Each structure stands twice: as structure tokens, then as C-alpha cells.
Homo-oligomer: A and B are copies of this chain.
Amino acid sequence: MKSIIHSHKSVRQYSVRTVDEATIVKIVNAAVRGSNTGNMQLYSIVLTTQPKIKQQLMPLHFNQPMVEHAPLVMTFCADINRFSHWCKLRGTEPCYDNFLWFSTALTDTVIAAENAAVEAEFAGLGICFLGTTMYNAEEIANVLNLPKGVVPVITMTAGYPEDPELPLTERLPYQAVLHFETYKDYTDSDINKYYNEFENLDKIKDIVKQNKLNNLAEVFTQKRYTKTDGDLFSKKYLDYVKKSFTMD
């Protein structure tokens, strides 16, 4: 028997069917059940359903239409605000605003988010994760009224799929990411073996042709995720994170 995970695909178009409250509670409870460091639960989830707020979020996610059309938009945030508030209220000084705790809170937040995704799919919904959350984190934080200590990490849109028969996206064979006992660094021949099948798909060749480039790697470095954009958004995200974490 296969678990639901093996049929995951990102769903970007949703039917008009709404998601009932019991399903939402199940999804959030799945997030809450996730493993987390010391049971500190250093995350919060902002669930946006109102068109007015979704329309404010949409340009910050580079106008990806599912932000407006998905019944549920869930922004998962690393959150040391709630735990720190609790510490202070109990008369002790919290100390969770450094780089280690940023990385830890981010980890716990993503575990919660993936649990929510799997649970949503188990309930028949389709989901899509938006990495753009990090690109415009401060602007998203402003829309969602996030206080200091709460950093948006990833957004999940969810709803019932318009087309339940979407194909799976190709991935590298598992052997490409799995190392036995210790890491065996890749030879050129390993890289060719693992990437060639993917590169030779007709749809990938079409993308390369449309972009008038020589290969898929160039599509990544020269079109999709360029150094100029990456460095710009990296600085933006770090500057914003530094308002909540010392990062040292």
C-alpha cells in the first residue's frame, strides 16, 4: 500500500468548492502534531481567506494567481514571539534570537507546514508551496501584522483541485540523493547519469528552446534564479530577519 505522499503534485488551480472548518482544524492539528525542538513549537500559522487580504498578498508572491483563487492561503512563520512572551511573563529572560534558533525555528516551522500539506492531501485537497514568501518577507509581514520575532518562511495555498488527474512531476532517481554510510562526492559521470534522463524529456527540451539557451542549467542560472535577483532578495531577507534575530 502506498501512502498519500507518493502521489503529491503541486496543485495551482482549485475548484470553487470551499473547505469546511473541520477539515481546516484537522490540517492545523496535523501541523501541531509535528516533531519540534523541545516541544517549544516555535511557529505560527496565519490563515488568510478574505479576498481583500489575499489581493494584498498576491503581488508580493509575484502575482501567482493561486494566491487569489485558492480557498486557503496559509503563511507559516518562524515565531519566537509567543515563547518569549511566555518566558517574560514567568519572570525569566528568553534567549532564542540567535542564528541557531532562527535555523531551529525555521526547521520546526517547515515540519509543521509539510504535515499540513500531507494532511490536506489526505483530505482530498491539493496544495502548492510558495517559496516567494522569503523574497518579500517584510512586505508580507506588514500585510499580516506580524510583530518582531515572527518571520514568514513559506506559504501554502490549498483547495480542492480543479483537475484531480495531474501528472506527477519528474524527480531525480532516489539514488541521486541517497548516500550509504558516508557522502560519496559525485563524479562528472554520476552527474550525467542522474541528470540526463531529466534533461532529455521533451518538455524540458522545449523550455530550453523557448529560452533560446543551450541547456537546462542555463535556464536556471540565466532565467529562473539569476545571481542578480538572488543576491538582491537574499540581502532583503537577511535584513528583515535581523530585525528579529541577531544572526550571530
Contact = CB atoms under 8 A, between A and B. Distances in A.
Interface in A80-99: 81-82, 85-87, 89-96, 98-99
A153 interface: yes
Interface string A1-40: 0011110101000000000000001001111111101111
Interface string A97-139: 0111101101100111111011100100001110100110000
Contacts of A122: 3, 5
Given A92-B217, A106-B103, A49 B177 contact: no
A59 to B, nearest CB: 17
Contacts of A233: 100
Given A32-B172, A35-B117, A225-B96, A47 B217 contact: no
A230 B43 contact: no
A183 B46 contact: yes
Interface size, A (range): 35 or more
Contacts of A29: 6, 174
Contacts of A10: 35
A224 B217 CA distance: 45
A246 to B, nearest CB: 8
A42 B86 CA distance: 36
A101 B176 contact: no
12 contacts: A39-B171, A47-B179, A48-B181, A53-B182, A86-B191, A95-B221, A95-B227, A100-B230, A103-B237, A110-B111, A145-B183, A147-B185
Given A34-B114, A98-B231, 5 more contacts: A8-B34, A50-B181, A107-B131, A112-B177, A235-B248
